[in-house]
Structure 1
Amino acid sequence: MHITPTALLALIWMLLIGWGFYALLQRHLRLDDQLADTEAQLRIERHARAVAELALANAHLSLCQASKQQDSVRESERQRIARDIHDDLGQNLLALKIDLQLLHVSTTGAHPQIAKKLDGMMGNLDNTIKSLRAIIYDLRPVVLEAGFQSAMEWQLSEFTRMHGIRHAFTADPDALHAPEDVERDAMLYRIAQEALSNVARHAHATEVDIKLQRFGNMLTLRVQDNGVGMVELGNGRGCGLPGMRERVRAIGGCFAIDSLPGSGVVLSVSIPLTVAIPAH
């Protein structure tokens, strides 16, 4: 059979086109295989990431629960120490005061130096009893037994009486009706106490405003003053707040301090109402 040059050329072109289509098909199939492998790898990585995130969330919740239990133990220990001091040392000091009073009465008209010495001893003993009561109160704020709102109102009234700084306290009904939690209330009370102490010592403020609010499952305490701000205070801002910050963060809360020169300080603390470990 005789093949003309034109037919041969057409045959060659058909072979080249066929080979090209075949090469493109093979490349497309390889790309599909690579894409399938990539998608499978992504699925594996997504699953591994989901498992890691779940483990991290469970670890965080476990840490929150452990921190909460630690706070509960710490608060119980505070109350035990306060009771022991009150029942033992407090009673002994009271008995000593009564003995000194009786001694003072029985030596009336004796040598003036004896009466003067007894007066001095009784004065020192009264100061010791006052210091002891302050220590007991710091260990176990008795006012919290009447509720957080009453405790805060009492603390603020004493703050204004002692330092002459006006105060305002507002609380959302939802926040006041939150589930009762002694350790949480004690933490918020002590944070407010430390914040007010810093305002009195450093802020040169004339007003302080405290708000208690509830946002979903979080309870937020906000303390704001109209003082000089933190920039002008240097490092003298109290040593109690850093410890509070770590304790708040350990139970899944948020602790923030914001300030501008001459605009006062805003301290915000948010604490979860409940810390629960999900069932496995």
Structure 2
Amino acid sequence: MDTSIVVPITAHVPTSIAREGLDGASASSPAEREIARLRARVRELSAELVHAQEAACQRVARELHDSVGAELTATHFALAGVETWLPADAPPQCAAALTVAQRSLDAVGEATRHAVAELHAPSLDAGIVGALSQWTGDFAARTQLRTSFVCAADVRLTRLPADAALAIFRVAQEALNNTAKHARASAADVRIEASRRHLTLVVSDDGIGLAPRARTRRGHFGLAGMRARCAAFDGSLQIGASRPDASTHARGTTVRARFAWDAMLAGAACAERLAAGAASFSS
């Protein structure tokens, strides 16, 4: 396992760029207004889907922790009691079967704990960069994949509201989990790119590649969730081969998730205006 994490955050971006488009709307044609209305509706519906998905994740996590976790603990103690009560002249197959059962139970318990951790919303107190830095490191340790995380130096990353940061995190999480499950890769790279208008999350691997039909398969819940999280912030999701012209079979897969800065920072700008208004009123 070789994990490299590079997280530079030093550059300054004028707030006028971050707020561009929020206050400078100009008159437009009816067609443009209709397109803007439809885009706003897409954002609204995508946000509702994302919120429903997060709520479902939290319910499943609670159920796994409270109900399944309790049943696993009870079964563990029951098997321990059986082993204690086993007579001395019991066939050796009995002790062997109990050992296998305990091993399987431990594996299920570990898988359940991991699932609960994945379903719970991460702590974003340290921001999206800190959350992704820690999670990619844990991912590398767990999967033994060489994993790197490189982040653009952009001060706007520190101003992302929680819902925008969570959307970026969940897309990265889903992409890396897909790599671990399906790609047969030896390495995965995560990077955040920042342009004037967009933040782009790029997750690439050196695995066997994704079949063209799988990239657009609408029944794939994970991909649908990733697309919804991008659409909620005026973004898009693209999935393609990392090396489409390579002669080797290990073409790899690259996921590019794009988010619009204006859409992500709209909530932060509104909160700043409300805070400024409250401060001026109190003074």
| SS of structure 1 residue aligned to 2:147 | strand
- Describe the shift of the 1:111–1:79 C-alpha distance in structure 2 as closer, same or farther (beyond 3 A): same
Aligned to 2:165: 185
Aligned to 1:124: 104
Aligned to 2:52: 73
Matched, 1:195 2:179: no
Aligned to 2:82: 103
Matched, 1:155 2:135: yes
- Describe the shift of the 1:125–1:208 C-alpha distance in structure 2 as closer, same or farther (beyond 3 A): closer
What's the CA shift string for 1:136-176, capped at 9, x where partnerless?
A: 23322556676533442343334434554322212235254
Q: Which amino acid aligns with 2:161?
A: E
- Describe the shift of the 1:275–1:225 C-alpha distance in structure 2 as closer, same or farther (beyond 3 A): same
Deviation at 1:90, TM superposition (A): 0.9
CA contact (8 A) 1:65 1:275 kept: no
TM-score (norm 2): 0.63
Aligned length: 227
TM-score (norm 1): 0.64
| SS of structure 2 residue aligned to 1:223 | strand
Q: Does 160-169 or 87-96 show the bigger shift?
A: 160-169
CA–CA separation in structure 1 for the residues paired with 2:124 and 2:74: 29
Q: Flag structure 2 segments of 5+ consecutive residues without an equivalent.
A: 1-27, 271-283
Q: Which amino acid aligns with 2:137?
A: S
CA–CA separation in structure 2 for the residues paired with 1:203 and 1:88: 33
Aligned to 2:205: 225
CA–CA separation in structure 1 for the residues paired with 2:76 and 2:125: 29
What's the CA shift string for 1:226-277, capped at 9, x where partnerless?
A: 55656xx56566943355235523542122234323264432111231467x
Matched, 1:135 2:115: yes
Equivalent of 2:245 in 225, 238, 261: 261
Aligned to 1:88: 67
| SS of structure 2 residue aligned to 1:111 | coil
Q: Which amino acid aligns with 2:74?
A: A
| SS of structure 2 residue aligned to 1:177 | helix
Q: Flag structure 1 segments of 5+ consecutive residues without an equivalent.
A: 1-48
Relative contact order higher in (CA < 8 Å, ≥ 6 apart): 2
- Describe the shift of the 1:167–1:175 C-alpha distance in structure 2 as closer, same or farther (beyond 3 A): farther
Q: Does 90-99 or 153-162 show the bigger shift?
A: 153-162
Q: Which structure would you say has the larger Rg?
A: 1
Q: Which amino acid aligns with 2:109?
A: I
Structure holding more helix per residue: 1
